[in-house]
Amino acid sequence: MQVQIFKGPSSASRPLSLLTLSALMSLLSLAACGGGNLAEEPASAAAAAADAGPSMRALAAPAVAAAKARAPQVALGGNAYITAAGPDTTEWISNEEGLMDWTAPATVISTYVRVAQPGKFNIVLKGSAPDGGVSTLRITAQGKSFTQRLTAGTAQVTSLATVDVAQAGYVKIDVQGLKRTGAEFGKLTAIELSGTATTGLLYANAPEDYYWSRRGPSVHLSYAVPANTEYAYSELQIPVGEDPIGSYFMANGFGQGYMGIQVNGPDERRVLFSVWDPDGGGKTTLVKKGPDVVVNEFGGEGTGGQSYLLYPWVAGNTYRFITRVRPDGQGASLYSAWFFAPEDGQWHFIATWTRPNITTWLTDFYAFAENFDGDYGWRERKMLHGQQWAVNKDGTWKELNRARFSVDATGANKQRLDYAGGVDASGKFFLRNGGFFNETVTAGQYFTRPLTGVKPDVRLDTLP
């Protein structure tokens, strides 16, 4: 959708023959299950295989290689975020290369994976310190922290961190730099995970789609409207704390465009109304706009006409939206939008656009929630879609209380599973996405909210 804008017991006293056999069996078992507690015995196993002679080494080496080959490599480029940082931080996540420009001890890099079953995780960082540098790092997961060293030229941290994962769901692995001798802590590209908790592990593993997976899944509600619908009305509320930067909460979508509210920055919020250009050629053009409304053309995921009002909407308040679509009688259709602000008790006219080569009433009414800023894909967002009404060309109002829930390709392809929708305790439809929560809702199902039976108090013929 176009939006403008992660000891074992000592073996010294054990006889060599028993140590050798035990170590080999541990390695073979590790290879068979695709994991195991690598933190406990890698050094003793390797030494035992070396002491046992060529035949034992020949057996042990393939087992280690097989286990390592199956260990998931969770790329930071698609799965990690800067979740804490100082005011002048330089760190950032590259979709292609992972963590970049890592200099500040205050910065926390969080990587998320979804576990299908309880078990153990063995965590290995993939990366290296700058030439001549040594860095001390902290890894934290499941309430346990480990201090490790990163040196120049190494492909990974040599020691291991092992944690218990008690239940299925998302697990967060935090990394933080403590001390460094080089100009930066180093570069991290991935986190390698092994152990019993990796069976069925889910994470973003399609590099060509890391841009989208870092943004997180988009979720939608679709409503069936009667024929010849001219107006769509809906109400929208964003719960307090569910409005991070990058959020677009779309209240009134239709076949050729959409209308909703955005969080564009710490001090900027918008009411947005956009109409696509026709597929077969021609341009959507402005007919008129409301006071203080900004008008642009947009590109990227398609092209069209964009109009928005800078407005400091507030989480917790309920806002009302009206869109109007009708043929103009000359081979085109007109699209208009209004926004009601409870802060001043007024309807605000956004704009009217004309789209050529189409004669249509309002169709394909829908709502969605999405994040358009990948740096904030780790933050949760939620919207409550209250009343929905359709008004046909004769002025008859019809309440809509049945919606189909859907998710985009990021969710459908299981790159992310933090998405949900349904009806909340207050009887409103809701959409929820981002934040790596665990309660995934199956897409494609229908939800029905209670009818209110009370037509909105609005005179369409007196809208500005």
**119 torsion bin: left (phi>0), alpha (psi -120 to 50), beta (else):** left
Reading the chain (464 residues) residue by residue, the pLDDT tens digits are 433 332 233 333 323 333 333 332 333 333 333 333 223 333 333 333 333 333 333 333 444 344 445 789 999 999 999 999 998 889 999 999 999 999 999 999 999 999 999 999 999 999 999 998 999 999 999 999 999 999 987 665 556 799 999 999 999 999 999 999 999 999 999 999 999 999 999 999 999 999 999 999 999 999 999 999 999 999 999 999 999 999 999 999 999 999 999 999 999 999 999 999 998 889 999 999 999 999 998 776 679 999 999 999 999 999 999 999 999 999 999 999 999 999 999 999 999 999 999 999 999 999 999 999 999 999 999 999 999 999 999 999 999 999 999 999 999 999 999 999 999 999 999 999 999 999 999 999 999 999 999 999 999 999 99
Q: What local confidence, expressed as pLDDT, does residue 157 receive?
A: 59
Q: What local confidence, expressed as pLDDT, does residue 155 receive?
A: 63
Q: What local confidence, expressed as pLDDT, does residue 34 receive?
A: 31
CATH class of 213-462: mainly beta
The label of the residue with tokens 């060599």 reads: 16
* Residue spans per domain, the chain: 16-70, 74-203, 213-462
| Alpha-carbon gap, residue 350 to 271, rounded angstroms | 8
Strands 397-399 and 247-254: unpaired
Q: Which amino acid is at 233?
A: Y
DSSP 124-135: EEEEEBPTT-EE
The CATH classification number of 74-203 equals 2.60.120.260
Helix (H) or strand (E) holding 382, with range, is: strand 381-392
Domains 74-203 and 213-462 are alike in CATH topology: yes
Q: What local confidence, expressed as pLDDT, does residue 280 receive?
A: 82
| Alpha-carbon gap, residue 409 to 249, rounded angstroms | 18
| Alpha-carbon gap, residue 413 to 402, rounded angstroms | 26
pTM over 0.85: no
CA atoms lying within 13 Å on the CB side of residue 209: 17
3-state secondary structure the chain: CCCCCCCCCCCCCCCHHHHHHHHHHHHHHHHHHCCCCCCCCHHHHHHHHHHHCHHHHHHHHHHHHHHHHHCCEEEHHHHEEEEECCCCCCCEEECCCEEEEECCCCCEEEEEEEECCCEEEEEEEEEEECCCCEEEEEEEECCEEEEEEEEECCCECCCCEEEEECCCEEEEEEEEEEEECCCCCEEEEEEEEECHHHCCCECCCCHHHHHHHHHCCCEEEEECCCCCEEEEEEEEECCCCCCCCCEEEEEEEECCEEEEEEEEECCEEEEEEEEECCCCCCCCEEEEECCCEEEEEECCCCCEEEEEEECCCCCCCEEEEEEEEEECCCCEEEEEEEEEECCCCEEEEEEEEEEECCCCCCCCEEEEEEECCHHHCCCCEEEEEEEEEEEECCCCEEECCEEEEEECHHHHCCCCCCEEEEECCCCCEEEEECCCCCCCCCCCCEEECCCCCCCCCCCHHHCC
Q: What is the pLDDT of residues 83-114, one digit of tens each?
A: 999 988 899 999 999 999 999 999 999 999 99
Q: What local confidence, expressed as pLDDT, does residue 195 receive?
A: 95
Mean pLDDT score across all residues of the chain: 86
